Amino acid sequence: MPAVPSLIERYAAHLPVTDRTPRLTLGEGATPLVRARALERETGIPEVWLKVEGQNPTGSFKDRGMVVAVAKALEAGARMVLCASTGNTAASAAAYAARAGLGCAVVLPAGQVAAGKLAQAIAHGARVVAVRGPFDAALAVVRSLAEQGEATLVNSVNPDRLEGQKTAAYEVCEVLGDAPDALFIPVGNAGNITAYWKGFVEATALGLARRRPKMYGYQAEGAAPIVRGSPVAEPETVATAIRVGNPASWKGAVAARDESGGAIDAVSDGEILDAYGFVARCEGVFCEPASAAAIAGLRRRARDGGLRDLRRVVCVLTGNGMKDPERARSLAGAIAEVEATPDAVRRALRS
């Protein structure tokens, strides 16, 4: 038994699982909720918390939904799982399929996947194909293949994925003793904001929380279909995990926004990278650029005076910064290379 029971075990009563569902686990969930003092000082909000989802086994929140989707596929006798991915879904599907003894095929948008995510999919033995076009084109391909019975689709259009992902909202309520006043979250294919809202609604019904948070979702300016109100044919952003032009859970995201009295806005790549550097340098938490869209949104809304009544907010940091080492490397210039002497190193550190 793992020290912390598996996500399926812990939340079995609230998930679409039975006694026959395999207790698949890699130790997902139960991620840290970390107080963000530098963001509190900057925004003037009394309590800002970071839900550090990059601490999941494959480095993103995708593991919460994937463990349920792959366990259900296994229970149903599937031999193979299939997904389209901007990278993290592929990494997660590959790892859980390996664990479960299933085959895994992933279809990626060519040239748009961070190096760490691709490395994970390959290491875990997935078959990888890149298609010319954005994530949306890859998703259309795998939906069609799944309909033809090629394999079980484990994208977030699979309802088991969202069921698993909603457990993050339960955890936030368990740790804080209630839901926060607001939740800040990046929006790509919009499954996660949909899942969190479902989780918070259930948490209030179960008595885990008294209130429901306002849901603030953030897209990147170059990939903001929900903000614009129409699909984007060629989405563009440095935050590759949210480079999505036609979100599958569009309706769920709009419902979360409207039922909670929140908003879905766009932030620029400049704001995203600024927030990415800020949380790493000032909070000690290294997230990936897509995750930083939530921080960028919080900072912008606080600056504009839109958060004065809020006492406690949670930002979801969806993925680990180590997924995309090249992006981090670009934050600094050349690294000084000197003789191996104390004097030379001291001079270099001072310059």
**Residue 114 found at the interface with ligand PLP (CB under 6 A):** no
In the complex, which residue's CB is closest to ligand PLP?
319
Among 31, 43, 55, 88, binds ligand PLP (CB under 6 A): 88
| 8 residue type, one letter | I
**Residue 319 found at the interface with ligand PLP (CB under 6 A):** yes
> DSSP string of 230-291?
S--SS---S-GGG--SS-TTHHHHHHHHHHHT-EEEEE-HHHHHHHHHHIIIII---B-HHH
- Structural contact between residues 213 and 180, judged by C-beta atoms closer than 8 angstroms: yes
Q: Which stretch binds ligand PLP (CB under 6 A): 14-22, 286-294, 302-310, 328-336?
A: 286-294
Beta sheet of 103-109, edge-to-edge order: 127-131, 103-109, 80-84, 152-153
Quote the CA–CA distance of 224 and 144 in Å, as a whole number. Answer: 25
Which residues, numbered 198-257, are part of the site for ligand PLP (CB under 6 A)? Answer: 241-242
Quote the CA–CA distance of 70 and 22 in Å, as a whole number. Answer: 9
**Residue 60 found at the interface with ligand PLP (CB under 6 A):** yes
Task: Name the β-bridge partners of 243.
Answer: none
Among 290, 296, 307, 314, binds ligand PLP (CB under 6 A): 290
Q: How far is the CB of 322 from ligand PLP (least distance, A)?
A: 12
> CA-CA-CA-CA torsion for 295, 296, 297, 302, nearest 10 degrees?
90
Q: Which stretch binds ligand PLP (CB under 6 A): 18-26, 33-41, 264-272, 288-296?
A: 288-296
**Please, which residue, 191 or 199, has the CB nearer to ligand PLP?**
191
Among 156, 158, 237, 246, binds ligand PLP (CB under 6 A): 156
Q: Which stretch binds ligand PLP (CB under 6 A): 94-102, 138-146, 185-193, 260-268?
A: 185-193
Quote the CA–CA distance of 318 and 212 in Å, as a whole number. Answer: 20
DSSP 223: B
Q: How far is the CB of 99 from ligand PLP (least distance, A)?
A: 19
Per CB under 6 A, residues contacting ligand PLP are 60, 62, 88, 156, 186-192, 241-242, 288, 290-291, 318-319
